[in-house]
Amino acid sequence: MRGPAAGTDRRGQSLVEFALVLPLFILLVAGLFDIGRAVYASSTISNAARTGARIAIVNQNVDTIRAAAAQEAVALGIPPSDIEVYFRNPNDPALPGNDCPEIVIGCVAVVQVRYQYLAALPIVSQLVGPITLSSTSALRIEDVEP
């Protein structure tokens, strides 16, 4: 013979299982949002580097290049100081830095954008810490400003 308490045992068990699984499920869903934010940040800095390189092939003013790249990544709040611009000799691409002594048509304009990504979840942020995302774009100079 079954009493009224027989059905409540199962409901109580389900409630306990749900209480154990719910935090893990919420952590998983929030982690997916953080991954989406990281992909967005990566795409944004890539676009910023390409935009800066497109400006650099026709206008070699470093401040203008940095401002254009920073404007492209305005959602991330990247300051122009985190954007590196230099001109490379096309004949020796292995050398980094300002090795193109005179900026002429054919030199390679290189724009590199860096961003420190920090996860929104405190648990993930403490485990992983800040992640440095970087994107570089290089294009040959097509026009030299007088």
Q: What is the mean pLDDT of residues 88-110?
A: 75
User: pTM of this prediction?
Assistant: 0.78
Q: Please say if the pLDDT value at position 117 is more than 70.
A: yes
Distances (CA, A) of 136 to 27, 51, 79: 33, 11, 16
- Write out pLDDT tens, residues 35-55: 999 999 999 999 999 999 999
114 contact partners, CB below 8 Å, separation of at least 6: 45, 82, 83, 84, 132, 133, 134
Res. 73 pLDDT band, cuts 50 70 90? very high
Q: Please say if the pLDDT value at position 17 is more than 70.
A: yes
